[in-house]
Structure 1
Amino acid sequence: MSQIEGSNVSKRIMQKIGGLRLRSKILISNLIIIFLISTVIGSASVYTANYFLESNTKDLSEQIVHQVSDNIEYRAREFMNSTVYLISDQLLRSFLTGKDELVTEDNFPAYWSRVNIVLSQFASNNRYIRSIVIKSNKGTVYWWEDQHYVKNDLNIRSASKIINQAETGLKQSGREYAWTSSFRGEEEVSLTRYFINLGHVNEHLGTVVINMDPNFFRNLKSDISFISPDNLMILNQNQQVLVKSSLQLLEQKELFDQIQTQSGSLNGFIRKINGQSYLITQEKTNPSGWRVICVIPLTILKDHSRLLQWIVIVISALAILISVAISWFLSARTTKNIKLLERNMRKVEEGDFNVRTDIMGRDEVGMLSVRFNFMVGRINELVNSVYKERIAKQQAQFQVLLAQINPHFLYNTLGTIKWFARMKDQSDIEKMTSALIELLKSSVRRTSEFHTLSDEMMELNNYIFIQKSGYGDELRVTFDIDEELLDSFVPHFSLQPLLENAILHGIELSKGNALIIIRARHEKEVVHLIVEDNGIGMDAQKIEHILNRDGHQKMFPGMSSIGVRAVNDRIQLYFGKGYGLFYESELGQGTKAIIKLPYLTKLEEAESYAAGHDR
């Protein structure tokens, strides 16, 4: 029974809320949101502060580890290259080869002293070098040790032990050099490499071990208090610790095992060790394969988050007070403008496209009013434009149909005339009939509104052949065609009406030798097809009548098989108002008829282009 009562109460509450005005709904919803924010702002601020600091610390530690890794790789490579100066020393090479004198117990101190000077000079260039041990292939061992170092314990026995262990490890690695931890148990980084013969790089004269202070690789320069060189540890490719951290935690096997399970670079992760959480970031250097690991206790991060928590709390409290006042004002103003906009939309639904809405400010509702006015005006323009273009297209198609009345009948009849002329041995009539048949073929058999310019030229040649049969030498036609355009696509019968117009209304009226030049050029992505004659020319009024629909039909009926105006209409319907037919002419100076088309090299592209403009 209680469940049914609870359900009824919920329904009544929802019904009351649904019956409220929009203004009341907005105000109530804002107050509910403000109340929820005020109850959770304390915990949310703490969580946000910790998350923000932890996330940024993670990103920052990854960037620093990446920089340190690059620096370590660079330093290791730079120091390795510097050892070339050591192995190129002529005195050392002569001592190691033993060419000058055999080393004995009597003369060894003298040799050792001279080698010690050379090694000391080399070490003076790098303050991080603690000791150097060299062994020749004959087993003679020389060494040098920094006198300022606390433990000056190198002697013939300890030096031999170090060089023998290093030499064994180097042979096992199969490489020319190796970075390892110290062979004498000190906190050092050791570089072992073969002392090669520069004259014969495959020949080894001995082995050299250089022990370095680990601070050579600690080069973290940062003002961030919770990231310091003490947080870093470096492992070589064999997982030996080259540089230790002062944090004792890094020495614990539990943490080391967890680090070993992670691979890749910049893969920051958080692990809990002995009840305490740590942010661990690592990266693998390239090409040495070392791993640089940074461990930061999260307790340090929490100490830095307290100030941020207080800032978030204060800002949230101010935002709550301000939002309560603003929500009441906006709820009233917003609903007023929305109601006005809704009434105008209903008028548009009823078919009134002349309705407009007053601009109601610069907020979203105001911008919606601007877009609404633009949308209604655009719809009105599109309705009128579509209507006009459909009428224009129907008229252009009608003119095309008039020019193609029963082409199959004409084609068959002309075929009969051609064979009859052949039987009567009338070759001129047969050639004229064949040219006319080819013209009709292009009309009967075409499957697209477009064909190549070379096909258009072929049809034009057939038409010129027919016309020259009547005009003879009085009609001359020359071509100036860019061969690159022959494979481009143009609408069918684009040039034939212009050529016919030039003959009938330009050349014929001139009563003299007729010259017509047909050109094809392209500028960037626009093709210009030009029909130029030396006829009597036209004035601006006559050009206007030709391109005007009414004037064209009344003053120049039957101008061509399709009609000059139809050519212009088809091009503009297919490609837009930027293209079409244009005239350049003066009385007594001849006429240029210019067609502008887009440069199209694929049939699919031409048909798609035309379909996109033919709405």
Structure 2
Amino acid sequence: MTQYISFADENFNSMLTEARKISLAVATEQEIILPTMKEPFVEASYDDYQQKKKIRSYLSGLMSQKEYIENIMLVTDNGRIYQANNEPIMKKDLEKSAMRKALETERSGIFYNREEKEVLLGCPIISGGKAVAAVVISLNYDIMVATWQIEPLDAVNIYIYGPLDTLFYTNTVEKGKEAQLLSLVEEVGDNTGYLKWNGEKQYFIRYGADTETMTTISIIPYRLLLQDADKLKWKFLFIGMMAVLFAVAASAYLSGKLCTNLHKLTESMREIQNGNLSVRSDITAVDEIGLLSGAFNEMVERISLLLEEVRQKERLKREAEQDVLAAQIEPHFLYNSIDSIQYVAHMRKEEEIERVAVALSELLRSVLSNRNEFITLWEERVYIENYITIERFKYRGFFQLLWDVDEELWTYRIPKLLLQPIVENALIHGISTRENDGVIQIKIFRQEKDIIFKIMDNGRGMSRDQIEQLLTEVTKKNKAGFRRVGFANVLNRIHLIYGEQYGGTIYSLEDMFTCVELRLPGEGEKDAAVGFDS
């Protein structure tokens, strides 16, 4: 019986202690609560609405899954009220005795009205040495006292006293004897003992929670102690016997089942050991052996797939080695052919053809000889400048390529040939139709933690439908990989390397301009030893 009473008392005081912790957490909150309390009162506005919404969300989170807390309110000295729920607060509610005490208290405390079942925990918010607001937590009286309303305590008289020895709760119908009982317990001078109450011998237990200033006194008739003890003795004896019988039966059943399944699983493992990868375990039990069986089947399946993958890779490796041997001569032959074109153009004084041949040779040598996946932005610029030199020979109309790059970003590393397809699209599909005033501008700058790339042209532009169709290409794939669309390929490379949170978009207006914007993480690799002429 003592354990039941102790358990109920701990539950009761734990609710009060948790509510007090919440009130102190609200009173000392530095980011949402205290800054708001210090702000001067302003008539209803959108900012005030947003602040109330933020505070309501914070208070609602504190009382989540705590059904014994009905509401958490903040009442400032200038009349502002913030609360966790949406129920309106009437002026008469603030004028109730318990509420006034909770709002005016100078230290954290409990205030209640037993007749109205109103329980409040008040805590002042101090700023600059004075109280600027009060935290008031409304507790559900019925839920709190329900911890005492359990079957083993039906025959126990419970008395809970609050501050100043006022009665908070009792499960008895007698009235007017609460002070007398408290005096008798004080005379005994101990937390447990015997006293005479209502004409018979009683056993009392007193619990005092110093942090919550609540005292609980439980009165148990002595005659019931012996009666309940005999009943419990036979109940426990019966329960113990049944538990032993059940344990023996369950052990026998589970042991037989586990041994059978373990034997099956062992046989399957022996088959695998002998090289038979087609065997699978057929154990379907919903227990640990069943989980092991499922893991075993999954492991064998993966081993089979890995072996097949190894065979495929070996075949592809042999084919790739043959392709590499066949392709080794191709770059050398291509370089010699371009050098021959350059030499003949020089001898014939075809300076424009010579420049194109030089640019093409440098572009091919840079791209084919540089096997790094990531290159600096300066190296990407060299690729693009060589490409533009070649294209000027094709498009006779004059056009400009302008660079606007933050100086520090020239050493920022990007995937090789990331910008070249965008520039190519801007030239072919954008300014190729203009005669003499085409402009391609590349602007690169840092924006907060990201790097922004903008490739703009003053060409023909695109309609909204064309932009949507182009963006749709990003998510389409075929057997060969990504669709061979420059912009879609670039975005898919960004998604694969940096994640879905990075990528790009297109802005355009027909017959006016097109702007491709890419976003990459700002913490990319940098080459500390890249030289270039500014």
**Structure whose CA Rg is larger:** 1
- Could you say which structure has the higher strand fraction? 2
Give the TM-score normalised by structure 1: 0.33
Highest RCO, 1 vs 2 (Cα 8 Å, sep ≥ 6): 1
